[in-house]
Amino acid sequence: MQYEITAPKELKHTAILPASKSISNRALVIHALAGGSILPENLSDCDDTEVIISALRDNPYEINIKAAGTAMRFMTALLSVKEGEEHVLTGTERMKHRPIHVLVDALRYLGADITYVGEEGFPPLLIKGHRLDGGLLEVPGNISSQFISALLMIGPTLQQGLTLRLKGDIISRPYIDMTLWTMREFGADAEWSDYETITVKSQPYHDRAYRIENDWSGASYWYEMMALATGDDDEVILNGLMDASKQGDSSVRYIFSLLGVKTQFATTEQGIPTKVTLRHSGRCVPRLEYDFVNSPDLTQTFVVTCALLGVPFHFRGLATLKIKETDRISALKTEMRKLGFVIYDINDSELVWDGERCEPDYADGIDTYEDHRMALAFAPAALRFPSLRINHPEVVTKSYPHYWDDLRHCGFQIQQR
User: What is the set of active-site residues?
Assistant: 297
d(CA 300, CA 291): 13
Q: Is 149 flagged in the annotation as binding?
A: no
197-200 vs 162-167, strand pairing mode: antiparallel
Q: Is 94 flagged in the annotation as binding?
A: no
Q: Is 373 flagged in the annotation as binding?
A: yes
Q: Is 417 flagged in the annotation as binding?
A: no
Which residues touch 99 (CB under 8 Å, ≥6 apart)? 121, 122, 323
Q: Is 316 flagged in the annotation as binding?
A: no
Q: Is 144 flagged in the annotation as binding?
A: yes
Q: Does the bond joining 123 to the residue before it have cis omega, within 30 degrees of 0?
A: no
The helix/strand/coil state of 185 is helix
Which residues touch 102 (CB under 8 Å, ≥6 apart)? 139, 140, 143, 147
First to last CA, the chain: 7
Contact in structure between 188 and 214 (CB atoms under 8 Å): no
Angle between helices 69-80 and 145-154 (to 10 degrees): 30
Count the Cβ atoms, other than its own, within 10 Å of residue 192: 15
d(CA 317, CA 296): 7
Q: 223-234 burial by CB neighbour count: b if 16+ within 10 A, else e?
A: bbbbbbbeeeeb
d(CA 207, CA 30): 9
CA 239 remoteness from chain centre? 19
Q: Is 246 flagged in the annotation as binding?
A: no
Q: Is 415 flagged in the annotation as binding?
A: no
Q: Is 69 flagged in the annotation as binding?
A: yes
Q: Is 21 flagged in the annotation as binding?
A: yes
- Binding-site residues for 3-phosphoshikimate sit at 21-22, 26, 144-146, 172, 297, 324
- Binding-site residues sit at 21-22, 26, 69, 98, 144-146, 172, 297, 324, 328, 373, 398
- Binding-site residues for phosphoenolpyruvate sit at 21, 69, 98, 146, 328, 373, 398
